[in-house]
Chain A
Amino acid sequence: MSAVVDARGLSCPQPVMMTLNRIEALGKGVIEVLVDTDTSMENVARLAKNKGWSVKEIQDEGTGYKLVLEK
């Protein structure tokens, strides 16, 4: 099961809160997170690792990043 969290344009701590909500709702699976700043990218990756999810991929999309999280 995969899900998309679109946190582009949202500032701290929204991207982390939205990702956390999805992590807790899914339990396991694949989550794609879209963010538009390096800070948000780092924060979401740090959260994922803290919650035992792996960061499979971080794509630089020019105007932001797509993180693929998996558990």
Chain B
Amino acid sequence: MKLKNVFASRWGIIAVGALIGVLATLLQKFGNPPNMGICVACFERDIAGALGLHRAEVVQYLRPEIIGFVLGSFLSALLFREFRPRAGSAPIARFVLGVFAMIGALVFLGCPWRAILRLAGGDWNAILGLAGLAAGIWIGTLFLKGGYNLGRSQSTYPSVGLMMPIIMLGFLAFIFLNPHIPGEPKSGILFYSLKGPGSMSAPLWISLAAGLVIGILAQQSRFCTMGAIRDLILFRQTHLFGGIAALLVFAFLSNFFLGQFHPGFQNQPIAHNLHVWNFAGMTLAGLAFALAGGCPGRQLFLSGEGDGDAAVFVVGMIVGAAISHNFGLASSPAGIGPHGAAAVIVGLIVCLFIGFTMRHKSA
């Protein structure tokens, strides 16, 4: 039998959540956008922009943290003999869930990680987002209790499991072959923001190293923000919740000491205070995460350990970001996009369709 996995213990996951909280606030100190030391949704959106899949000039940067997350998880899975190539569990449904998860997250302006980091930075609008997230996950648990599942995956060729790590190595090569030229919005094939959140970043090596460390630890600890709330509702189990509670507490403490804590509803960075849409956007995202079985961070870590279905969800999120910005669905500090409200409603209908129609009573 394998060595006992200390990171999957109660104190292990609390330590990992605490470390993510501190690293995220430090990344912000080193240059990442305010209350956005780490945001999986925002960073995947920035990657979509860097690749030119959307042309929103303020959110274009190939974020090294995301590359680090996948490669760190991949290395960890290899090291601990947990790399298991698998795929084939309703990939197109997972793609669609990824698209709408991103659309919902960009109406709120953040993934669950950023929602917690926003709260830890004093942005009280995040309370609405987190409440919406919990509501969406609660709806997801009703489907789970009713027999919803996406079906079994199959073990498959190692190369299928290697796809996402290889894609991330390709992204890393893009960064080195097309480095940012100060003052230039484009370098070779990559777009670079000159203003807005996309122009704010910690140095490449710091971002990449932080991503790798988090990738390794999150793979081992199974850190998942959606799972934390889902398990609490479904099983009254607090194991994963310890991780996100630690993230909140330590990010708050770190923000406080770094002078990054600014409480209030008004004038918060990269945020709006339309309470209904903060709530509804994250309800959509939470439901999509619950139906897909993981928060955006967890999907990245799973894709690194060989889960081809999680990889499809990630690709769905990147495409969803492009759709969000091309079709005017994403919010900005000025408020929601012209079609953001309609997209949330369509997304909820699509998620309900998936939830109601994919049921299989398995003993």
Task: Report which A residues bind B (CB closer than 8 A).
Answer: 5, 8-14, 16-18, 20-22, 36-39, 42, 46-47, 50, 58, 60, 63
The 3 lowest CB-CB distance pairs between A and B, nearest first, are A9-B152, A11-B293, A9-B153
Is the pair A12, B152 in contact by a Cβ cutoff of 8 Å? Answer: no
- Of residues 164 through 182 on chain B, the ones whose CB sits less than 8 Å from some CB of chain A are none
- Among B22-30, B96-104, B227-235, B261-269, the one that faces the other chain is B227-235
Is the pair B237, A38 in contact by a Cβ cutoff of 8 Å? Answer: no
Is the pair A13, B230 in contact by a Cβ cutoff of 8 Å? Answer: yes
Neighbouring B residues of A46 by C-beta, 8 Å: 237, 239
Neighbouring A residues of B82 by C-beta, 8 Å: 37-38
Is the pair B222, A42 in contact by a Cβ cutoff of 8 Å? Answer: yes
- Among B1-9, B271-279, B318-326, B341-349, the one that faces the other chain is B1-9
- Do A9 and B86 contact each other (CB < 8 Å), given the known contacts A18-B363, A21-B363? yes
Task: Mark interface residues in B139-171 (1 if CB within 8 Å of A CB, else 0).
Answer: 000001000011011110000000000000000
Of A22, A38, A46, A60, most buried by chain B (CB within 10 Å of CB) is: A38
Neighbouring A residues of B149 by C-beta, 8 Å: 10, 14
Is the pair A13, B234 in contact by a Cβ cutoff of 8 Å? Answer: yes
Is the pair B222, A11 in contact by a Cβ cutoff of 8 Å? Answer: no
Q: Told that A11-B150, A22-B363, A63-B155 touch, could you supply 10 new A-B pairs with CB distance under 8 A? A: A12-B224, A12-B294, A13-B231, A14-B149, A17-B234, A36-B84, A36-B155, A38-B80, A38-B82, A60-B1
Separation in Å of the A28 CB from the closest CB of chain B?
Answer: 18
Is the pair A47, B362 in contact by a Cβ cutoff of 8 Å? Answer: no
Cα A13 to Cα B2 with chains together (Å) = 23
Cα A47 to Cα B363 with chains together (Å) = 17
Neighbouring A residues of B89 by C-beta, 8 Å: 9, 11
Task: Mark interface residues in B280-319 (1 if CB within 8 Å of A CB, else 0).
Answer: 0000000000000110000000000001010000000000
- Do A50 and B237 contact each other (CB < 8 Å), given the known contacts A9-B86, A13-B230? yes
Neighbouring A residues of B154 by C-beta, 8 Å: 9
Separation in Å of the B344 CB from the closest CB of chain A?
Answer: 26
Task: Report which B residues bind A (CB closer than 8 A).
Answer: 1-2, 5, 8, 80, 82, 84, 86, 89, 144, 149-150, 152-155, 222, 224, 227, 230-231, 234-235, 237, 239, 293-294, 307, 309, 362-363
Separation in Å of the A59 CB from the closest CB of chain B?
Answer: 9
Separation in Å of the A71 CB from the closest CB of chain B?
Answer: 18
Of B82, B149, B235, most buried by chain A (CB within 10 Å of CB) is: B235
Is the pair A8, B152 in contact by a Cβ cutoff of 8 Å? Answer: yes
Is the pair A58, B152 in contact by a Cβ cutoff of 8 Å? Answer: no
A to B CB contacts below 8 Å, 10 in the list: A9-B89, A10-B149, A11-B89, A13-B230, A13-B235, A13-B293, A37-B84, A38-B80, A38-B82, A60-B2
Neighbouring A residues of B150 by C-beta, 8 Å: 11
Separation in Å of the B136 CB from the closest CB of chain A?
Answer: 16
Neighbouring B residues of A63 by C-beta, 8 Å: 84, 155
Separation in Å of the B67 CB from the closest CB of chain A?
Answer: 23
Is the pair A58, B234 in contact by a Cβ cutoff of 8 Å? Answer: no
Cα A62 to Cα B82 with chains together (Å) = 11
Is the pair B1, A47 in contact by a Cβ cutoff of 8 Å? Answer: no
